Structure 1
């Protein structure tokens, strides 16, 4: 798949899955929403706020695919096996404060 830059300010982020993720600032996003939508059609777009990753823009197809592959939080956290856990007693030495 050939990815052509849509604008000069888009930056590409390499990912493990081989999906090209682009990045743009919140200001750039606000100035050119169409460019962000075109980029999201090619792969996820990270939108930064003050230099920090803040949001990810996905196409609806990608969102639906991710949602279909996911489990709810309770299913992810539930455990089939019982785990035996006996922490060592905590020793705390209390002293009267010298004032």
Structure 2
């Protein structure tokens, strides 16, 4: 895992290279020489936060969802009044 450090100006000019570098490890983005932001791959972010895929992300995957979700929708019980057309 490599650590890359770039200035915010470099990040603005070379965003695609920074994204490629984030696949190998965190990219520290400095502002006036001080670390201000960190760019991580989504996999590394999920490892840090302990979050898995959301339902939306799982359903958006090509080939269908990876997970089996049980969804229960609450029943709505309401009474309809007959319309009065007089």
Higher relative contact order (CA 8 A, sep 6+): 2
Q: What's the RMSD between the two structures over aligned residues?
A: 1.2
2:26 to 18, 27, 44: 44
Q: How many residues are paired up?
A: 51
State which of 15, 37, 41 in structure 2 corresponds to 1:59. 41
Gaps of 5+ in 1: 1-18, 70-99
Q: Deviations over 1:7-57 (max 9, x none)?
A: xxxxxxxxxxxx321100000000010000000011000000010110000
Unaligned runs of 5+ in 2: 52-86
CA distance in 2, matches of 1:24, 1:57: 11
Structure 1 length-normalised TM: 0.50
When normalised by structure 2's length, the TM-score is 0.57
